Structure 1
Amino acid sequence: MEDIKKIFAFAKEYHYKLYSSILMAISSVLLGIVPFYLVYKIIMAFLKQPEVEFTYLLKMTILILAVLIAKSYLFLKAMSASHEAAFDTLMGMRKSLAEKLIKMPMGEIKKRSSGQLKNIIVDMVEEMELILAHLIPEGVSYIVVPTILVICIFFLDWRLALAALGTVPISLIIFKLMMQNNEEKMEYWFKAGDKMNSNIVEYISGMEVIKIFNQTTSSFSKYTDSVKDYEKYTLDWFQESWNYMAGFFVILPATLSFIVPLGAYFHLQGTLTLPAYILVMMLAMGLGEPLSKLARFIESITMIKRKSQAINEMLASEELDLNENDLAPVNHNITFDNVSFAYDQEEVLKNINFLAKQNNVTALVGESGSGKSTIAKLLVRFWDPQKGKIRLDGVDIKKLSFARLMETISYVSQDIYLFDTTIRENIRMGDLKATDQEVEAAARLAQCHEFILELENGYETFAGDAGNKLSGGQKQRISIARSLLKDAPVIILDEATAFTDPENEDRIQTALNDLIEGKTLLVIAHRLSTIADADNIILMDQGRIAAQGTHQQLLKESAIYQKLWRAHQEAMEWDIKVEGVKANV
């Protein structure tokens, strides 16, 4: 229950709402018992005298109606207060999870698929509403009220009080049988659900490829198999439990099962008065509904516990050490000092040493998988290196506040993401205080102003989900505009012009060259021609620095660089031949 208690901690600001909802829920359930007592009074009136005045019956009917209305009103107010507290709490939980994602290393985030993250942040958090909005007010009332009723019956006749609880041990035996191996079954069920969610997200994300290659849901086996597996396991598990559940929910609220025959026996023996017998039966009937509803919460507790555990595990995940000091770098020289880094156990960077100077262009080149992008991601602290230090102005970047580091660095990733908002707002994310004129000036520098104006609504055009309404080159130029608007002293371009046509690539390179004054520019590129004029080119090979120097120096001294340069030149001249027809690409 410790995991559920941690969920309650998010509701501490709204305890007054929860407490008031509990009081109103208890009052509502207690009022639900009053009609049974009033019916008892009517029965006793008829037993005392055959003819009962119509006005008395009318008054009792109106009173019963008024009590039922009051019961419904109090329940409505209780649910209103508990739901307000619940949804405020869910908002707090989602904000905490979002903040946690910012603080977590990317390695920790990537251990979870997007489907798993969606399942935790959206689905599992949403299901915590059951605890906060229902389990607390209703669950407490369904415990308190039956307890009060049993005590009342105990004062009337202790034997019938025990009889009223006679269904409880039988129900608990059935419940225990139903819960056999429940932990193992639930673990597999959650894993099957996570797998299905991940594959659904992958299926939707890859819809373009699926359509292009004329695939169907049946041929995309990862998707269909995971859905079928989840469906089959869920139905098999539920079918196995249904008979037990039916027995549990029938027997537990059947409080009259023992009271009616035993009460009749005691009355015939002369040890129980008729009024007491009738009142006990009426109170026992009021006992059935709360017990039945309480049972519905009991079956959910195990599942809620497992889901709250997943939420708390994510909130307790490893975080980057984010300083809050006010250190500010004077210059923006970047130093990698014996840096080594591994994803889990796989070492991808080994003893990396280089200096990227301010007012210079430093380029990282090498084959795919050589560690170029990892260097960029370490610099923006997506991860921290296991060995060595990364310094900015001689200061270990881990000693800078994360906010200061992010203000200092502008990072254009090869994995471009645009939000489903206007193009203007996507660019403005580089500087939220920027004016429309400043946004458009950055767009001009990034060579995207013209194509934006050609769109249906210009800068007010929505980019679509993940920018899917734009081409790869268009998204890349908008991403560069966003970076230019930020105007940070350190700029990292990770294959930032890979999808851009040669004409616009030249224009962007010219714009960046004009902006290099006073800045440190780190460029990762496959097209070697784009970095031939770099002040320092660092050649990566299998996680190590194989050589560094200018383009001309590396052509003379590095066989690996010579090989890359030849491959680049050949690619520039690449053509396609089809049945004697030659088409230059």
Structure 2
Amino acid sequence: MDGFRKIIRYASDYKSKVYKAMTLIFLSVIAGIIPYIMIYDIVIKFVDDKPFTLSYLLIMAGGILLFLLFQTIFYLQGLGASHDAAYDTLMGMRVKFTNKIMTLSIGDIQKEGIGKYKKNLVDDIDSMEAYIAHMIPEGIPYVVMPLIVFIILFIIDWRMGLLSMGSIPFGIIAMTLMMRLSGKMDDYYKASSKANAAIVEYIHGMEVVRIFNKTATSFEKYKNAITTLKDFTLALYRDSWTLMAMNAAILPCTILLLLPVGFSMYIRGTLPLSTFIFSVLLTLSISVPLVRLLEYVGLLTHVSKKINELEKTMEQRGLTVEDNGQSPVGNEILYENVVFAYEQKDVIKDVSFKVEENSMTAIVGRSGSGKSTLAKLLVHYWDIGGGDITIGGVSIKNMTFDRLSKYISYVAQDTFLFNISIMENIRIGKPDATDEEVIKVAKMAGCHDFIMNLEHGYNTSAGDAGKKLSVGEKQRITIARAMIKDAPIIVLDEATSSTDAENEDKIQEALNNLIANKTLIIIAHRLSTIVHADQILVMDDGKLVDKGTHNELLNNSMDYKALWDAHMKSMEWNIKIEEGNYA
């Protein structure tokens, strides 16, 4: 019942369509019963040898056809209304779910896995369609109509009423036993969630799988997840097959007791023939509603599990946002005693520094030192564990994601393009940008020439995750996207680390156009690109160990000097390779 209430709550915005569907299908069920009553009248005339005319038969036949037509029309109209309500509700649920995901920390999303959210957003919400489109509008009439029939039977002869309910106890017993399988259903849903995650991971990593010849059967994580899902599915159905078969065979057989016992009563003269025939016909009329009702009871258990999985995600704690409407004054960034831990591990440890407006601050350090995490905290990827981060005197916790996003453009090492046109991928930075504005920033980002060489120019699709383009091309389009946004603060998270030398020069030129007159934070692995920074922050094991200019740090910081020496050696090694000297 809890799942039922939750689904009704989600569909509440479209309840007028749900009520319309229920009414129409209720009329459809009534229209389907009336032909049985008309047939009863014809049979009684034959049995009692009462006079009737051809016109009477034609009228009754026409009436039967008319009500069967009404039954079909009402049913189709009801289904149309219920499906409208269902898909409107599913759309609303997906919007709410997506909005909820937007409030979660990136760390929580990565921890849970993409497969879980894909299952929630696609599979779990899809399962609501059958419930809203069929179970609610059809299920309630299918409960009411058998009740009406049973009441009528009890009124005309209480014995017929009891006999007509003869198959119901078998259905109740079977359903009760099936409900006890909820533990195995929990195992099934957990296995299904893990299989979804493994499938998504396997497909995303297809390139690596092929390179290292890891087939579906040899990729252990994928194989185990699919095998486990198969085992739990078979175990669930193996235990329920007999019960399902018993329900399907016995419950619809509404004349199971009524026909033999009623006929015996008629033979003994204790039951009028007209009452016996009427009872048989009425009882037959509810066999289909009872079967459908049985299906919906099973569906309710299934959907309840799905809705509970959705609710777990909807109830996850989101990032802390307490918007006070205050706007930053300037673009100065201040980290004050910032502390952050991820999965009980301290990642950032009491870090404080200031980034002056329209200045360049570089963050360097060994891999795992916390430099990228420090930058991501500025764009509120996670809640900080202690301290504060402010922009223009306003804490990022006091700005909505939308307002914070207007102040910051973030260019990451791992670029992502949507499977839409190049034009639309760039326009994401400024949805109301004209084509001319897009082309202008594309030229500034060094994209225009290679875009024009594509099959459809700016209208060429980037492909899934931008796979139709090279790493360098994707990076420049990402920079163009940041440029058209024109935010006052730019964060570059190792934006050139995965590109070759030829593309790096082009990307560096694009970055120079991007960062003009901006407040810039850059996470760099190639120290030669940040020697002119206004300040360089040196991170080690989550701590800020040194800060200063390039020359100051070379003279005063052992950590920075070690990083610089390692960088210069790698540069020399690269030069030797380019010269063909592999010694």
Following TM superposition, by how much is the alpha carbon of 1:157 offset from its aligned partner in structure 2, in angstroms?
Answer: 0.6
Following TM superposition, by how much is the alpha carbon of 1:345 offset from its aligned partner in structure 2, in angstroms?
Answer: 1.1
SS of aligned partner of 2:257: helix
Contact 1:350 1:543 in 2 (8 A): yes
Equivalence for 2:488: 489
Alignment of 1:102-121 (within 5 A): 102-121=102-121
Equivalence for 1:146: 146
Equivalence for 2:207: 208
Letter in 1 for 2:74: L
More displaced 10-residue stretch of structure 1: 54-63 or 425-434: 54-63
Letter in 2 for 1:110: Q
More displaced 10-residue stretch of structure 1: 104-113 or 19-28: 104-113
Distance 1:354 1:505 in 2: 29
Following TM superposition, by how much is the alpha carbon of 1:286 offset from its aligned partner in structure 2, in angstroms?
Answer: 0.9
Determine if the alignment matches structure 1 residue 348 to structure 2 residue 327.
Answer: no
SS of aligned partner of 1:111: helix
Letter in 2 for 1:391: T
SS of aligned partner of 2:351: strand
Distance 1:583 1:89 in 2: 66
Equivalence for 1:79: 79
Letter in 2 for 1:273: P
Equivalence for 2:163: 163
Determine if the alignment matches structure 1 residue 229 to structure 2 residue 228.
Answer: yes
Distance 1:353 1:31 in 2: 76
Equivalence for 1:403: 402
Distance 2:366 2:4 in 1: 49
Encode CA deviations 1:241-295: one digit per residue, 9 max, x unaligned. 1111111121212221111232233334443211111111111111211111100
Distance 2:16 2:357 in 1: 57
Determine if the alignment matches structure 1 residue 433 to structure 2 residue 471.
Answer: no
Equivalence for 1:55: 55
Equivalence for 1:13: 13
Distance 1:116 1:417 in 2: 20
* Aligned pairs, number: 582
Following TM superposition, by how much is the alpha carbon of 1:90 offset from its aligned partner in structure 2, in angstroms?
Answer: 0.6
Letter in 1 for 2:34: V
Q: TM-score, normalised by structure 1?
A: 0.95
Distance 1:553 1:403 in 2: 39
Equivalence for 1:258: 257
Q: TM-score, normalised by structure 2?
A: 0.95
Contact 1:3 1:312 in 2 (8 A): no
Equivalence for 1:530: 529
Q: Please list every run of 5 or more consecutive structure 2 residues that lacks an aligned counterpart in the other structure.
A: none
Distance 1:25 1:363 in 2: 67
Distance 2:469 2:581 in 1: 27
Contact 2:445 2:513 in 1 (8 A): no
Encode CA deviations 1:502-537: one digit per residue, 9 max, x unaligned. 344345445544554542100001111111111111
SS of aligned partner of 1:410: strand
Encode CA deviations 1:112-141: one digit per residue, 9 max, x unaligned. 211111111011111101111001111001
- The 1:470/1:55 distance shift into structure 2, 3 A limit, reads same
Letter in 2 for 1:258: L
Encode CA deviations 1:425-481: one digit per residue, 9 max, x unaligned. 111111122222322222222222222222222222111111011111111111111
Equivalence for 1:548: 547
Equivalence for 1:89: 89
Equivalence for 2:568: 569
SS of aligned partner of 1:368: coil
Letter in 1 for 2:36: F
Contact 2:3 2:303 in 1 (8 A): no
SS of aligned partner of 2:216: coil
Alignment of 1:170-319 (within 5 A): 170-180=170-180, 182-319=181-318
- The 1:172/1:500 distance shift into structure 2, 3 A limit, reads same
Contact 1:380 1:405 in 2 (8 A): yes
Distance 1:485 1:198 in 2: 35
Letter in 2 for 1:108: D
Equivalence for 2:386: 387
SS of aligned partner of 2:286: helix
Distance 1:512 1:43 in 2: 89
Following TM superposition, by how much is the alpha carbon of 1:304 offset from its aligned partner in structure 2, in angstroms?
Answer: 0.5
Distance 1:301 1:3 in 2: 8
Distance 1:129 1:403 in 2: 32
Distance 2:242 2:514 in 1: 73
Alignment of 1:363-382 (within 5 A): 363-382=362-381
SS of aligned partner of 1:256: coil
Following TM superposition, by how much is the alpha carbon of 1:39 offset from its aligned partner in structure 2, in angstroms?
Answer: 1.7
SS of aligned partner of 1:328: coil
SS of aligned partner of 1:358: coil
SS of aligned partner of 1:421: coil
Letter in 1 for 2:426: I
Following TM superposition, by how much is the alpha carbon of 1:385 offset from its aligned partner in structure 2, in angstroms?
Answer: 0.5
Letter in 1 for 2:9: A
Following TM superposition, by how much is the alpha carbon of 1:584 offset from its aligned partner in structure 2, in angstroms?
Answer: 5.9
- The 1:508/1:255 distance shift into structure 2, 3 A limit, reads closer
Determine if the alignment matches structure 1 residue 35 to structure 2 residue 35.
Answer: yes
Letter in 2 for 1:313: K
Contact 1:575 1:582 in 2 (8 A): no
Distance 2:506 2:470 in 1: 18
Distance 2:416 2:289 in 1: 52
Distance 1:321 1:335 in 2: 19
- The 1:26/1:511 distance shift into structure 2, 3 A limit, reads closer
Equivalence for 1:25: 25
Contact 1:424 1:439 in 2 (8 A): yes
